[in-house]
Amino acid sequence: MSALIEVDQLSRYFGKTAAVNNISFNLEKGEVLGFLGINGAGKTTTMQMLSGCLEPSKGTLKIAGFDMLTAPLLAKRQIGYLPDTPPLYKDQTVTEFLTYCAQLHAVPKQNITAALDNTLERCGLTKVATRLINNLSKGFQQRVGIAQAIIHNPSIIILDEPTVGLDPIQIKEIRCLIKELGQDHGVILSTHILSEVEETCTQVQIIHKGQLVVKESLLNLAQLYKQNCLMIKTNQPVNLDLLSNIPGVYDIVTMPEHIYHIEYDPNLDPSQTVTEIIISHGWGLQEMTPVKTTLEDWFVKYTSNPDLIQ
- Separate counts of helices (H) and strands (E) for the chain: 11, 14
Check whether residue 45 and residue 145 sit in a common domain: no
**66 and 208: one domain?**
yes
| Residues 149/115, Cβ–Cβ less than 8 Å | no
- Is residue 306 assigned to a domain? no
Sign of CA dihedral 165, 169, 171, 174: negative
The domain in which residue 120 lies consists of 87-149
How high is the mean pLDDT of the chain?
89
**Stretch 229-250: mean pLDDT:** 93
**Per-residue pLDDT reduced to its tens digit, 159-192:** 988 887 788 888 888 888 889 889 889 999 988 8
Whether residues 158 and 137 fall in one domain: no
**Residue 225: pLDDT band by 50, 70, 90 thresholds?**
low
Examine the pLDDT at 224 and tell me if it is beyond 80: no
pLDDT at 310: 44
DSSP letter (8 states) at residue 237: -
pLDDT tens string 297-306: 777 777 776 5
Residue 297 lies in a domain: no
Q: Which of 165, 191, 217 is the last residue of a domain?
A: 217
CA distance 296 to 31: 21
Phi, psi of 29 (to 5 degrees): -60, 140
Task: Supply the CATH number for residue 265's domain.
Answer: 3.30.70.100
- Can you point out the beta strands (E) in 107-197? 156-160, 186-190
Share of the chain above pLDDT 90, in %: 62
Say if residue 175 is in the same domain as residue 69. yes
pLDDT for the residue 151? 96
Give the residue from 136, 140, 144 showing the smallest Cα distance to 97.
Answer: 144
pLDDT at 227 over 70: no
**Residue that terminates a domain, selected from 111, 128, 149:** 149
Position 27 scores a pLDDT of 94
DSSP structural state of residue 12 = E
Q: What is the CATH number of the domain that holds 180?
A: 3.40.50.300
Write down the pTM of the prediction.
Answer: 0.77
Which of these three, 198, 217, 236, is where a domain ends?
Answer: 217
State whether 231 and 101 are in the same domain: no
